[in-house]
Every structure is written in C-alpha cells, then in structure tokens.
Amino acid sequence: MRERGPVIGITTYGPEGEPPGFSLPVTYVEAVAQAGAVAILLSAGSGILEAMLDLVDGLILSGGGDIEPAVYGGGDHPTVYSVSRERDNFEIELARLALARPELPLLGICRGMQILNVALGGDLEMHLPEVRGETVVHRLPPREPTYHPVRVESDNLLERIYGRAEFEVCSWHHQGVRTLGSGLRPVAQAADGVIEGVVYEEHPFAVGVQWHPEMQVADDPVQRLLFEALIERARSKG
C-alpha cells in the first residue's frame, strides 16, 4: 500500500453568499499537494476545534477578506470588505489552540498572518496607503494582486527556509500589522517598512507571511520552499 503524505488542514473563506457557502482558491490545495501532502478543508461551524486539530499534521490559515475591525479595537473604514465574524472567531480560536501544540506546524498566509497577530493580542492598520503611502504598492486597484520585493532578517525560521535575504513576492492586501501580538517577532519587511513576515518564537514552527506564496509555486521554486518546509515538519509529526 502506498504511504500517504501528511494531512494539512486549510481554513476556508466564508460562510458567504446566498445561500451561504464555504470556498477556497485551488492554488492552496495545489501547493500542498505539490509538496507531497494531503489537503483537507476546515470551515467555521463544522465541529469541535480540538477534534479538527487532532485530524491534521499541519495547519494553514488562508487569506481572504478583512477581519472585523471590532475584533481588534479598530473603527469603521470604507475599504473594509468581505467581513465574516463567524470566520474571525473560528480562526482566532483555532490559531490559539494550534499555537499550544508544539508538534503542529502552522503557516498563516496574508489574512492568516493577520489572524495570528490578532489572536496574540496585536492589531492592524486598516488601510496601508493612508499610513505608508504608495512607495510600495501592496495591491493594485480596485483589489488585484501585484509584486514587490521583501527583505528577510538573518537567524530566524523564515530565513532558514528560504536561504536568502531578498526575493519577489505576490502581494494582495491593503491592511497590515500595526502592533505586534505577544511573542511574535517581525522577520521580513517591504521597503516601506510594512511587516511581511513574522515568527512565533515560543513554537518550533509557527510562521506568518503577508504575501501569497500559493499563487507563485507553479512558476517560482523559491516560494515552493515554504510549503516544502511545512510539509517536512508535518511529516515528522505524523
């Protein structure tokens, strides 16, 4: 019998639409499969969170719409979109439970990195162009991806995974970290100072990136390294 790869849980978008549904871009699943793992989708309201984590060998907190500003003490802003308080509550609690499991590797992507930050008591800039200007474009109008370089500090998990100090990333966000959550270390930045990568130093493999590596893996071997590292760590757990 062929041995299966480790199982990676990926959180979904939603519930949204009419009738309400859960969704996820296929690039997340393809990135996990390409790295040799099996992807399963985790959605809000689908069960006991501890039981969900028992099923998986690793966890990805996916991207998507904005976190409800009231969750982290923010106000109203006209650019906030696709808010789901049910998803927010689900992912924040899932992140906290996962961080308490040192054997379970965790990767937060874009919104997922922001969820990590909020789960640990941090907050967000509600619209980066208003506080950082346009020297680095983090998404094209109205809401389209773009590319820019990020620089990674030395001597941290992200630098060890990528093995280089600078590379190009696919960027698709208008919010970012303002105050860091407890235990998070900023380890990557864009040229305008926006935090692009964090690690949770009380866990052996808990990392968040503000960019979308899953959108690059088909053409960029550098971005495959992040998923390969996650799956390798998950393999040792499973």
pLDDT per residue as tens digits for the range 148-174: 999 999 999 999 999 999 999 999 999
The single-letter DSSP state of residue 143 is T
Would you say 112 and 12 are in contact if contact means Cβ atoms under 8 Å apart? no
Q: Per the structure block, which two tokens stand in for 138?
A: 């983090």
Q: How far apart are CA 150 and CA 147, in angstroms?
A: 10
Classified by CATH at the fold level, domain 7-237 comes out as: Rossmann fold (3.40.50)
- In Å, how far from its chain's centre is CA 29? 14
Cα separations (Å) of 66 from 74, 210, 232?
12, 13, 30
Q: How far apart are CA 25 and CA 224, in angstroms?
A: 17
Catalytic residue among 138, 174, 203, 212: 212
- In Å, how far from its chain's centre is CA 12? 12
Would you say 166 and 158 are in contact if contact means Cβ atoms under 8 Å apart? no
Q: What pLDDT shows up at residue 226? A: 98
Query: Which pLDDT band, with edges at 50, 70 and 90, does 11 fall under?
Result: very high
Would you say 8 and 60 are in contact if contact means Cβ atoms under 8 Å apart? yes
The reply to whether 212 belongs to the active site is: yes
The reply to whether 170 belongs to the active site is: no
Catalytic residue among 91, 110, 125, 148: 110
The reply to whether 134 belongs to the active site is: no
Query: pLDDT (tens digit, 9 = 90+) per residue, 81-133?
Result: 999 999 999 999 999 999 999 999 999 999 999 999 999 999 999 999 999 99
This prediction has a pTM of 0.97
Q: What pLDDT shows up at residue 1? A: 40
Query: Which pLDDT band, with edges at 50, 70 and 90, does 238 fall under?
Result: low
Indicate the pairing of strand 21-23 with strand 13-16: antiparallel
Indicate the pairing of strand 176-177 with strand 124-125: antiparallel
Indicate the pairing of strand 58-61 with strand 7-11: parallel
Q: What pLDDT shows up at residue 46? A: 81
Catalytic residue among 91, 125, 196, 214: 214
The single-letter DSSP state of residue 66 is P
CB-facing half-sphere around the CA of 119: CA atoms within 13 A: 26
The single-letter DSSP state of residue 68 is P
